[in-house]
Amino acid sequence: MPPLAIYIHIPFCQRKCPYCDFNTYAGREGQYDAFVQALVEDIWRTGDALGNPAVRTIFLGGGTPTVLEPGHLHMIFEALHGGFDVLPEAEITSEANPGAVDASRFETLRMLGVNRLSMGVQSFDDEELRFLGRIHTADEARAAFALARRVGFENINLDFMFGLPEQSPDVWRKTLQTAIELNTEHLSLYSLTVEPDTALAAWVARGQVSAPDPDLAADLYEAAQELLGRAGFHQYEISNWARGPLGDDLLPRFASRHNVVYWRNEPYLGFGPGAHGWFGGVRRAVVRDVGAYIRCVEAGEPYWSMEEPISRNLEMGETMMLGLRLTSVGVERAVFRRRFGADVADVYPHQLSSLLAAELIEMTPERVRLTPRALLIGNEVFAAFLPEA
């Protein structure tokens, strides 16, 4: 079995952001101890059941992992090392909210082997941060970044959000410029979307806030491509930029190895409420409710809210859809052939020829990838590879 990737979902935040539809809850401090107990039990048990396999990436996400106490983080890492063979070169990422960090948490993460930090900064403009309901200011985000550096993090990602209603292109450029000046290794840029059942959706429905404008978002995305490209970042995925140099695998040195596992459609395990995993040919999702998760683990009962065996057809389609997100690498034809025993050109002759004619993909003997003009309409391209129901 090739080394695994592990995602751990910490379903807590200090405050719920109005646009967020992730499975995360505020005001649940009383559940932290029981949740961590259940999580560590789950990690040990699963690792032992699988024969303590090797792990090449770990991603502690959420939610906000840094709301947990250092003692909780110790317990989680003890379980990871007990249940799994975490390789010495493993990439270990933790998300962090700039408003929920301090030196002791950062030092704890470093000591536990976390070698990559991913901070949800979202903007370096205080007015935008207020609109987004963030718990930190721009200065606090800068201070959190400086603290992370002082503690020794040499691989930091910053998340940003664009396409806010009537967002000023100048303010967006200033935000990116600040990130460039901070010398971050990686940026993830996401356009604001109005998700159902969020506070933002209610504001838009009541007319208190105008809906995000896709044309403005497209302009801001292109501005980011231009600015970050000039600053030496490689756009290696539709929403992700990293510093190089580029390796033989066409990925920049600071690409997120964990997320590359997802984009290559390789197996990973998910732990914690609402986490997804794909392993042994089956996709699974853990029950979203924190209390239900704790009860199931304590009782030794299954906690899946969804289990779906993935057919070869679906696996091939998903491998295409996810692989095309990698802008330089794309779908490697030799890798596809090794995995499925067939060439992409034979499996998808009609889809590929119509996408080629529309100049949405380019094809070489080595790979299939999106053309630059397809980056903004990737979903239309991906849909071509969905197997018919």
Token duo for residue 178: 């600040």
**Nearest in space to 131 (alpha carbons), one of 161, 176, 94:** 161
CB 19 → ligand SF4: shortest distance, Å?
7
340 binds ligand SF4 (CB under 6 A): no
**Binding span for ligand SF4 by CB under 6 A among 57-65, 101-109, 227-235, 327-335:** 57-65
Q: Tell me the C-alpha to C-alpha distance, in Å, between residue 233 and each of 81, 304, 343, 353, 375.
A: 34, 40, 32, 32, 17
Quick one: which of 8, 10, 13, 80 contacts ligand SF4 (CB under 6 A)? 13
288 binds ligand SF4 (CB under 6 A): no
DSSP 133-174: T-SS-HHHHHHHHHHHHHHT---EEEEEEE--TT--HHHHHH
Instruction: Return the number of the residue (64 or 94) whose C-beta is nearest ligand SF4.
Output: 64
Site string for ligand SF4, 85-124 (x = CB under 6 A): ------------x----------------------x----
Instruction: Return the number of the residue (199 or 386) whose C-beta is nearest ligand SF4.
Output: 199
- Give, as ranges, the residues between 315 and 334 that touch ligand SF4 (CB under 6 A): none
- Whose tokens are 């000039």? That residue is 230
CB 26 → ligand SF4: shortest distance, Å?
7
> What is the DSSP code (8-state) at residue 23?
S
81 binds ligand SF4 (CB under 6 A): no
24 binds ligand SF4 (CB under 6 A): yes
32 binds ligand SF4 (CB under 6 A): no
272 binds ligand SF4 (CB under 6 A): no
Token duo for residue 67: 């709301």
Strand pairing category for 85-96 and 116-122: parallel
Quick one: which of 3, 11, 47, 62 contacts ligand SF4 (CB under 6 A)? 62
Would you say 162 and 192 are in contact if contact means Cβ atoms under 8 Å apart? yes
Quick one: which of 47, 63, 252, 273 contacts ligand SF4 (CB under 6 A)? 63
- Whose tokens are 């239900």? That residue is 292
Q: How many Å apart are CA 232 and CA 235, to the nearest integer?
A: 10
Which residues are near ligand SF4 by CB under 6 A?
13, 16-17, 20, 22, 24, 62-64, 97, 120
